[in-house]
């Protein structure tokens, strides 16, 4: 029950913090740090899916070395592809599973078990959340549900933050164009305000 309470507290903490943040990078870091701390595991990472390259690009990680984080491109077709298509996948032994793309690097990093959870928003795959343990770990349904819940919350928040950032950029561009147009419309010609000559006939008519 204590572990369950900790997970609920973490969910509330992360949800509250995310609701006050509009920065995708901050949301991603907060999520992986919270999962790593709550489950007391070696590390956690969040990947974003690049549809052009079919690669999972590391957005942020907590508890992992720089060497492991830069080990090489992570292929969505080779690296635990099943978790992106069918749902969460738990791997008990990273050295004895063909779905691991970099088993030697994982062993050198001190990783024994791994959990991969897809991040989906609006019916579209946007990334994956991965949890790493130093000791062999049999992930429980509670573990999987907890990681999956935070992954979905983070995915939705990151997508909305991206949308808001893109919308703000569009608004700024429109404002700039509008300001330029206003300046053009209000700019005086070289002859504006210059008195025009009046003929003698016009002067007599005015009298």
Say if residue 167's pLDDT is above 80: no
How much is the average pLDDT of 25-48? 90
All domains of the chain in start order, with CATH? 2-164 (3.30.450.40)
- Of 87-101, 156-170, 192-206, the poorest mean pLDDT is in 192-206
Using pLDDT thresholds of 50, 70 and 90, give the confidence band for residue 23.
confident
Q: Which residues contact 204 (CB under 8 A, 6 or more apart)?
A: none
Share of the chain above pLDDT 70, in %: 73
Mean pLDDT across the chain, nearest whole number? 80
Say if residue 164's pLDDT is above 70: no
Angle ∠(119,129,42) on CA atoms, nearest 5: 165
Tell me the pLDDT tens digit for each residue of 55-71: 899 999 999 999 999 99
pTM, 2 dp:
0.74
Say if residue 22's pLDDT is above 80: no
Using pLDDT thresholds of 50, 70 and 90, give the confidence band for residue 171.
low
Say if residue 88's pLDDT is above 90: yes
Tell me the pLDDT tens digit for each residue of 112-130: 999 999 998 888 888 999 9
Residue 186's pLDDT is: 58
């Amino acid at each position: 029950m204590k572990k369950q309470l900790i997970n609920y507290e973490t969910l509330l903490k992360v949800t509250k913090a995310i609701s006050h943040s509009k920065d995708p990078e901050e949301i991603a870091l907060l999520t992986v740090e919270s999962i790593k701390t709550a489950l007391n595991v070696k590390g956690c990472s969040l990947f974003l899916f690049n549809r052009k390259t079919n690669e999972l690009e590391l957005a942020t990680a907590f508890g992992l070395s720089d060497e492991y984080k830069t080990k090489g491109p992570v292929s969505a077709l080779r690296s635990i592809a099943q978790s992106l298509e069918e749902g969460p996948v738990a791997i008990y032994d990273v050295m004895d599973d063909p779905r691991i793309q970099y088993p030697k690097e994982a062993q050198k990093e001190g990783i024994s078990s791994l959990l991969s959870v897809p991040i989906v928003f609006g019916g579209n795959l946007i990334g994956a959340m991965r949890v790493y343990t130093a000791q062999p770990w049999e992930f429980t349904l509670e573990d999987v549900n907890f990681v999956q819940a935070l992954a979905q919350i983070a995915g939705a928040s990151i997508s909305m933050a991206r949308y808001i950032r893109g919308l703000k950029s569009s608004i700024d561009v429109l404002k700039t164009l509008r300001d330029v147009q206003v300046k053009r419309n209000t700019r005086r010609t070289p002859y504006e305000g210059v008195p025009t000559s009046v003929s003698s006939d016009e002067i007599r008519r005015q009298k």
